[in-house]
Amino acid sequence: MQGLKAKKVKKVVFFGTGGTISALSSDPNDVLNYQPGLIAVGDLAQSAMAQGGGLEGFLPIYEQIAQIDSKDMKFSIWQKLIERLLFWSKDPDVQGFLITHGTDTIEETAFFLYLATRELKQFPTIVLTCSMRPASAKDADGPQNLRDATALLLDPSWFSSGVMVVCAGRVHHAGAVQKVYSERLDAFSSLPYKQCGEFVNGSPVKLELGVEENYFSNELGISRPSIEQILEPKEWPWVEVVQNYAQNTGAVVRALLGYVQPSGLRVSGLVSAGTGIGTLSEELTQTLKFAKERGVLLWQSSKCAFAIVKAKEETDIFDFQGLTPSKARIALIMHLLSKG
């Protein structure tokens, strides 16, 4: 009818990847022994919404991308996620994306998605959520996390806010979030940055965004791959993390330099997880310099949980703005990917 606009339907796309949130245990009191990746994302979301929270008036879309324990996360699953996110982002009715994920590597997937999508204008917010107890547990935490994540996506003030992890009533930025407890329900921290939101009475409240948005600054010579490069069906660059500790002779680096994978791939990047502010033993420093002379790209991080690493020009290892070793590794992979 002329003059009357059809009511816009808000869509939220739920992608399932597995994790404890989709796990079952034979004993509702056992929160440690269970099998992840058993319940489909649509069933999880429907059952969470049926338990309350008053989240209505949106059209859910469900896609099962994987059903794994996230310790087994693969680049091919990240590629699939990107492909489906791009597909749905073309639908103007899509309000946001919710990804259910295991807690073990949720921060890696979140950070990868952040780097891959941050240049895309008006891209709907992506929220990853999880649980520490299986769905069958007496006091399962997954349903509340799912409702919180959905409430955030349905709140227009959070539209196109990047990539976040929602767990235990808190909203963490993808650049800052890390799992710091293996058992607690509130397993994540944004330290040394600030968390970007929290839930009050079921509604997401914005706090200060405590993360510098310059992880990929060009001044550091760091570049980003295009979506086409991310989706190209070829092996991604091989990057390893090398820790510093007592009596580190650099032998691991020498072993890595000598190894060729069955596919012919050689190590092309190394991230140092140094002690304290990123320090490395003399021997490890020398071996890394040797690796650099052979064309291996080096980036620096610290194995301290809440580190802000400062660049040391004389070692020629990049400052990487306090990223954790596993996130610095993802950034370096992306950087190498952009070089073709």
Residues of this chain that interact with ligand ASP (CB under 6 A) are: 19-20, 36, 69-71, 102-104, 130, 132
Closest to ligand ASP by CB, 172 vs 335, is: 172
Closest to ligand ASP by CB, 182 vs 247, is: 182
Question: Exposed, middle or buried: residue 74 (CB in 10 Å: 0-12, 13-18, 19+)?
Answer: exposed
Q: Where does the chain show beta strands of DSSP type E? A: 10-18, 58-68, 94-100, 125-129, 163-167, 170-173, 178-179, 188-189, 197-200, 203-206, 238-243, 267-274, 297-302
Closest to ligand ASP by CB, 145 vs 321, is: 145
Angle at the Cα of 169 from the Cα atoms of 165 and 172, rounded to 5 degrees: 30
Between CA 167 and CA 240 the distance in angstroms is 29
Find the shortest distance in angstroms from Cβ 71 to ligand ASP.
Answer: 5
Other C-beta atoms closer than 10 Å to the C-beta of 54 total 9
Closest to ligand ASP by CB, 103 vs 117, is: 103
Q: Looking up tokens 């680096």, which residue turns up?
A: 253
Strand order in the sheet with 197-200: 58-68, 10-18, 94-100, 125-129, 163-167, 170-173, 197-200, 203-206
Residue 317 carries which DSSP code?
B
Find the shortest distance in angstroms from Cβ 20 to ligand ASP.
Answer: 3
Find the shortest distance in angstroms from Cβ 73 to ligand ASP.
Answer: 8
- Report the DSSP beta bridge partners of residue 270: 240, 298
- Report the DSSP beta bridge partners of residue 236: none
Find the shortest distance in angstroms from Cβ 324 to ligand ASP.
Answer: 16
Closest to ligand ASP by CB, 27 vs 208, is: 27
Which backbone phi and psi does 195 adopt, to 5 degrees? -70, 150
Closest to ligand ASP by CB, 20 vs 248, is: 20
Q: CB–CB of 160/153 below 8 Å?
A: no
Closest to ligand ASP by CB, 34 vs 236, is: 34
Find the shortest distance in angstroms from Cβ 248 to ligand ASP.
Answer: 29
Find the shortest distance in angstroms from Cβ 136 to ligand ASP.
Answer: 14
Q: Where does 201-313 show beta strands of DSSP type E? A: 203-206, 238-243, 267-274, 297-302
Closest to ligand ASP by CB, 134 vs 197, is: 134
Structural element, H or E, at residue 313: none
Find the shortest distance in angstroms from Cβ 134 to ligand ASP.
Answer: 9
Kindly give, in sequence order, each residue whose CB lies less than 8 Å from that of residue 68, ignoring residues fewer than 6 positions away: 17, 18, 19, 36, 37, 77, 102
Closest to ligand ASP by CB, 130 vs 174, is: 130
Find the shortest distance in angstroms from Cβ 33 to ligand ASP.
Answer: 12
Q: CB–CB of 141/183 below 8 Å?
A: no
Find the shortest distance in angstroms from Cβ 36 to ligand ASP.
Answer: 5
